[in-house]
Amino acid sequence: EFTLKPLTKVTAIRPTERPGVDAKFDGNTTYLGDYRKWPGGRPPAIKSQSGYEPPSMPFEGMSTYKGHYIPHDSGPQRSYKPENAAFRSTVPFDDATMYRTEFTPKEIEACPATLLDSPRSNFIHHHTEPTGHKFYQPHHELQTQYQQQQQQYPISV
C-alpha cells in the first residue's frame, strides 16, 4: 500500500536581472580600428623583351638524340622464346605410376538388402506385418530352427 511522503513543490528559478549600462553604444569594431590598409593595385603588365632574335637558318627537324646516335651493325635479337611444338621422343611412353603399380583392387560387396528376394540371398522371408514391413531370417538359422524345434527372433529389414 502506498503512503504519502511530505514533499515540497518545485518552483521555477528565474535568472537574476543585470543592472543596465548607461554608456553610449560604440559601433566601431576592433577589426576596423586595427586594420592596416596595404598598398595595392594591379600588378604591372608583362612586356615582351626585345632581346629575342629569330634564327636565320631554316628548321632542320633534327633532335640532339638523333644527331648524336651512333648506329651499330648487328642483326635482330635472337628469340629465346620456346618453340610452339611438343617434345617428341623415340622412347615409348612409360605411363606406370606408383598408384597404378601398388594398387590392390578391393572386392565390392553387394548390399544384402538388394539380394533379399533373389536366389543368391542368405536370408529367407519369415513373415510380413500388416503395415507392410517384411521380416527375414538367415537361411542357416531356419534349418537349425526346424532341427532343434525352438523359436528364434527374426531380423528386421
pTM above 0.85, yes or no: no
pLDDT value at residue 65: 93
Q: Considering just the CA atoms, what is the radius of gyration of the chain in Å?
A: 57
Q: Which residues on adjacent β-strands are paired with residue 135?
A: 127, 156
Mean pLDDT, the chain, rounded, equals: 82
Mean pLDDT in residue range 120-146 = 78
Q: Which has more confidence, 147 or 131?
A: 131
The pLDDT-based confidence of 123 (bands split at 50, 70, 90) is confident
Q: Which residues contact 155 (CB under 8 A, 6 or more apart)?
A: 123, 135, 136, 137, 138
